[in-house]
Structure 1
Amino acid sequence: MTEETTSRTTCCVVGGGPAGMILGLLLARAGVEVTVLEKHGDFLRDFRGDTVHTSTLTLLDELGLWPRFDALPYRALTHARVRLDAGEVDFADLTRLDAPHPMVAMVPQWHLLDMLATAAEEEPTFTLRMNTEVTGTVRTGDRVTGVRLADRAEDGTLGPESELSADLVVACDGRDSRLRAESGLPLHRYDVPLDVEWFRVPRHEGDPDGGLGRMGRGRFMVLLDRGDYYQCALIIGKGTDARLRSGSIQVFRDFIEDMNPWMAGRLDAIADWDDVKLLEVSLDRLRRWSAPGLLCIGDAAHAMSPVGGVGINLAIQDAVAAGRVLAGPLRAGDAAAVATAASSVQRRRTFPTVVTQTLQDLAHRRVLAPLLSSDFTGQQDTEIPLPVRLIDRFPVLQWVPARLVGVGALPEHAPEFARRAPMPVPAG
């Protein structure tokens, strides 16, 4: 590369999702020169994870960003229920949590990311490059010393490659991480029996609010209250999407109505199969999250199941842990200390990752797999899982799933250098 096609930053963060933006903000507030690379031209993606959990809301408070978040169009979920053929069971009550904002906030992810980007761009050492795709890493020996990148046009074509050198590259580019794949870091995969179909259904006045799980007759779906519509997730058997789509969309509508007769008359909103988005579920974890010059966090380090909707919040907690330990060594330019700090992120975050993935794996094998063992049109009765029966009998136990989902096994708090007094909402 010529001088004109090579640039430099202290920390290169690949991926402008929640983890990447939080890490960029924290490092910039520590005075570290940080560049976040996002391959898209905006954050407008449909059916991304839109849940912002209690632990993340507490973090936003500590960062001084609660007034800005509170101005966003979010929907507060404080209760989760499971609706069975025999009736409805309260499952989680987030109001039992001892936290400033005991809820899950449903907010379009692009609003959250725009807010974080605006806050980060107020720091002089922060750079966000949109429409910039990373095509690979730059190495000196076995050490990652930067990335190769190219500008991305609206039609997806890439311009000439250039290089961005960095003391540390952090992969926040998700479960399909190019950097993770290129790194060769060893990966542990769980067997996953399910995929998810995402779609929207209009919500009417008087409909159930909050989060609702529908379980019965060999079927399971989740409905998340977004105000004027439900964001719906239908659980299907792994690899059955093609068979499902080979049929008529009307068969799919009829199936949803049979599960939820109260939705009759509104399912024409699912116009065709383009309105139904497949999420191919994976559950995996890197055995090592770092290599010389490279650190993976969030889904790039551990792809999570949608069970509990906790993936975004775990990724954000990874970013907070990384920002806390990396800020000092990166600011000092101490390569050995940076390497030590990067490896310590895995030691800090392994416990909550393993706990969460173990619980998700148990839910897959003990609850969801038996439900999915029948045909798509199966009509078998479903036994109420033991945890649901216990929570129904002893309501105080609703604190347990609320804690696991809303807060997690090891919540992270903003480091002192990143904390601010409540920041006003920018004009306009």
Structure 2
Amino acid sequence: MRCVIAGGGPAGAMLALLLARAGVEVTLLEKHADFLRDFRGDTIHPSTLQVLDELGLAEEFHRIPHRKAYRLDLVTDTGTSRLADLRGLPGRYDYIAFVPQWDFLTLLTSQAAKYPSFRLLMNAEAYGLIRDGGTVRGLRYRDGDGEHELRADLTVAADGRGSVLRAAAGLTPTEFGVPMDVVWFRLPREDTDPGETFLRLSPGRLLVTINRESYWQLGFVVAKGDAELLRAAGVEELRGQVGRLLPFLEERVTQLRSFEDVSTLTVALNRLRRWYRPGFLCIGDAAHAMTPVFGVGINLAVQDAVATANIILREGPSAVRKVQRRRMFPTRVTQFAQRVAQRQLIKPVLAGSPRMSRVPDLARMPVINRLARTFIGKGVRPEHVAMR
């Protein structure tokens, strides 16, 4: 069997590794020259750590500089509450590991490169499909040398929420709408700063703060479409908002010199009704775009890849329908939870609702905390590597 995968993100890289180690001839295409894109999702949850453990890569992963988070805190104007405490989660891993996504992708692709059936093409942008009647038989891509064709028994679109191959296959996702976008940037961190990653909430303002040891990675959440209004108001407005939310950063916000230091994430929430055509399959963001809520995007993508490998290696490339059957339920449940969080938390906060000044400590409610830590840590229907 030959497989070609477009997109070197978590879904594509993990699937390529799983297929290569099983002896499948697999080519992975990445349209960029490297994996160094800033402000990508990089929360590695226990479900993904377990997959790495099953692949014998847990020890090597943990040698990558990372920070463990055992709980998720919410800081309001009146104090701190816990949204979830992962301690006590069944299994070997009861924490979220924060690691730059490029390091995670480098780990996966370098491991895949140890197998002779794996090939990685960088600067290779997929732009079309090869068809034989109603069946997809590969893809077309362009690189510095021109345009090329790659024929395969299975073509996988893992090329993100703006998937070109998904569109070429005539598949269109259903959009669910989101109330926010996120403005990402970084500021230096000092030893006297808070130690944990947390969510800072105040009526009208919401800030994601991720401890990167030497710096803070910050995500300023704005109402949908307001990123341009913020940009038009000038970087001084962003500095002021951040300084009021996090007084310990008030003097450091001047290091945001302009909006050249800022990256805007246009948030989307959608999914395909149908993920496949004969010989073709969408996984990860190409099948279902997730919002940053709960930070589960990478982990859903990895779970898709594991399920795809398990099914395809057992039943062959014609079993693409079964991948959707396996992964649609967890996708729907996760997106439902994200929509509830948007409606009950994010939208009221951005609208300035005063009732959001006080949020109960959910980790003190045993049943709710047990559900929350399982959902965040393990997800819905976690996958395991069938071929050890």
TM-score w.r.t. the length of structure 1 is 0.87
Which one has the largest radius of gyration? Answer: 1
- The partner residue of 1:184 within 149, 166, 170 is 170
Instruction: Give the aligned partner of residue 127 of structure 2.
Output: 135
Tell me which residue corresponds to 2:289.
303
Do the aligned partners of 1:197 and 1:236 also contact (CA within 8 Å) in 2? yes
Residue range with higher mean Cα deviation, 83-92 or 395-404: 395-404
Residue 184 of structure 1: how far off its partner (Å): 1.4
Deviations 1:22-50 (A, max 9, x none): 10111111111111111111111111111
8 A contact 1:218–1:382 mirrored in 2: no
Residues 1:413 and 2:384 are matched in the alignment = yes
Cross-structure match for 1:400: 371
- The one-letter code of the counterpart of 2:17 is L
2:344 aligned with 1:371, yes or no? no
Question: In 1, distance between residues paired with 2:109 and 2:77?
Answer: 45
Partner letter of residue 196 of structure 1? V
Q: Secondary structure at the match of 2:289?
A: coil
Distance 2:375 2:348 in 1: 23
Say if 2:240 is the partner of 1:254.
yes
1:48-84 residue CA offsets vs partner (Å, 9 max, x unmatched): 1111111101110110011211111111111111111
Q: After the TM superposition, which residues 27-426 of structure 1 pair with which residues of structure 2 at under 5 Å, given as runs?
A: 27-152=19-144, 159-330=145-316, 338-339=317-318, 341-374=319-352, 381-383=354-356, 388-389=359-360, 391=362, 393-394=364-365, 397-415=368-386, 417=387, 419=388
Q: Contact 2:203 / 2:356 at 8 angstroms: preserved in 1?
A: no
Which blocks of at least 5 consecutive residues in structure 2 are unaligned? none
Deviation at 1:373, TM superposition (A): 2.2
- Identical pairs, percent: 46
Does the residue aligned with 2:360 lie in a helix, a strand or coil?
Answer: helix
Contact 2:348 2:356 in 1 (8 A): no
Residues 221-261 of structure 1: CA deviation (Å, up to 9, x unaligned): 11111112121111101111111101221121011111111
Q: What CA distance in whole angstroms lies between the structure 2 residues aligned with 1:366 and 1:177?
A: 30
Gaps of 5+ in 1: 1-8, 153-158, 331-337, 375-379, 420-428
Q: CA deviation at 1:381?
A: 2.8
Cα drift, residue 395 of structure 1: 5.7
Task: Note if contact 1:35-1:126 (Cα within 8 Å) is conserved in structure 2.
Answer: yes
Q: Give 1:282 deviation, angstroms.
A: 0.5
Give 1:342's aligned amino acid: V
Q: Structure 1: how far apart are the matches of 2:47 and 2:197?
A: 18
Aligned length in residues? 388
Moved over 6 A (4+): none
CA displacement 1:289-343 (0-9 Å, x = unmatched): 001111000000000011011011000000000000101444xxxxxxx22x211
The Cα of 1:369 is off from its aligned counterpart by: 1.3
Alignment partners' CA distance in 2, 1:329 and 1:128: 25
Q: Secondary structure at the match of 2:92?
A: coil
8 Å CA contact 2:32–2:122 kept in 1: the answer is yes
Q: Retained in 2: the 8 A contact 1:24–1:36?
A: yes
CA RMSD of superposed structures (Å): 1.6
Query: What SS class does the counterpart of residue 95 from structure 1 fall into?
Result: coil
Is contact 2:163–2:286 with CA below 8 Å preserved after alignment? Answer: yes
CA contact (8 A) 2:7 2:31 kept: yes
Shift of 1:112: 1.0
Amino acid of the structure 1 residue aligned with 2:122? M
Any idea what SS the aligned residue of 1:352 has? helix
Q: Secondary structure at the residue paired with 1:410?
A: coil
Query: Quick check: 1:78–1:210 contact (8 Å CA) kept in 2?
Result: no
Q: Quick check: 204-213 or 388-397, which moved more?
A: 388-397
Task: Map Cα deviations across residues 79-100 of structure 1 (whole Å, 9 max, x no partner).
Answer: 1111111111122211221121
The CA distance in 2 between the partners of 1:43 and 1:392, in whole Å, is: 36
Task: Measure, in 2, the Cα distance between the counterparts of 1:214 and 1:47.
Answer: 18
Q: Is the 8 A contact 2:181 2:265 kept in 1?
A: yes
